[in-house]
Amino acid sequence: MLRPCRFYYLRHGETDWNRERRFQGQTDIPLNAQGRAQARAAAALLARCAVATICVSPLRRARETALIINEALRRPIIVIDDLKEVAFGAAEGTRMRNLLPEWRAGWVPDGAESYPGFIARALRGINAALAQEGPVLIVSHGGTYWAVEQHARLAREHAIPNCAPLRHEPPTPDHPSWRVDPVE
Active site residue 12: yes
CATH number at residue 61: 3.40.50.1240
The model's pTM: 0.94
> Does residue 98 form part of some domain?
yes
Is residue 101 within 8 Å of residue 145, measured between CB atoms? no
Confidence band (pLDDT; 50, 70, 90) for 109? confident
DSSP type of residue 110:
T
Residue 60 falls within a domain, yes or no? yes
In a domain, 141, yes or no: yes
Residue 36 pLDDT more than 70? Answer: yes
3-state SS of the chain: helix, strand, coil percent to 5? 35, 15, 45
Q: How far is CA 74 from the centre of its chain?
A: 20
- Do residues 41 and 183 lie in contact, with contact meaning Cβ atoms separated by under 8 Å? no
Considering only CA atoms, which of 43, 49, 40 is closest in space to residue 7? Answer: 49
Residue 1 in domain: no
pLDDT given for residue 140 in this prediction: 98
Q: Is residue 54 part of a domain?
A: yes
Question: Residue 132 is part of which domain span?
Answer: 7-182
Percent of the residues in the chain that have a pLDDT greater than 90, as a whole number: 75
β-strands 7-11, 136-140: how paired?
Answer: parallel
At residue 139, φ and ψ (nearest 5 deg) are: -110, 110
The predicted pLDDT at position 96 comes to 66
**Host H or E run for residue 40:** helix 33-46
88 vs 15, higher pLDDT: 15
| pLDDT digit string, tens, across residues 137-171 | 999 999 999 999 999 988 877 789 999 999 999 99
The listed range with the strongest mean pLDDT (16-30, 57-71, 87-101) is: 57-71
Residue 110 forms part of a structural domain? yes
Residues in the chain: 184
Q: What is the mean pLDDT of the chain?
A: 93
Quick one: CA torsion of 128, 39, 88, 132, rounded to 10 degrees?
Answer: 0
Which of 12-21, 106-115, 125-134, 136-145 has the least mean pLDDT? 106-115
CB 74: neighbour CB atoms within 10 A? 8
In a domain, 157, yes or no: yes
Catalytic residue, candidates 14, 64, 85, 113: 85
E strand or H helix at 10, and its extent? strand 7-11
20 is catalytic: no
Bridge partners (DSSP) listed for residue 8: 137, 167
CB 139 within 8 A of CB 10: yes
In a domain, 131, yes or no: yes
Count up the domains in the chain and report the number. 1
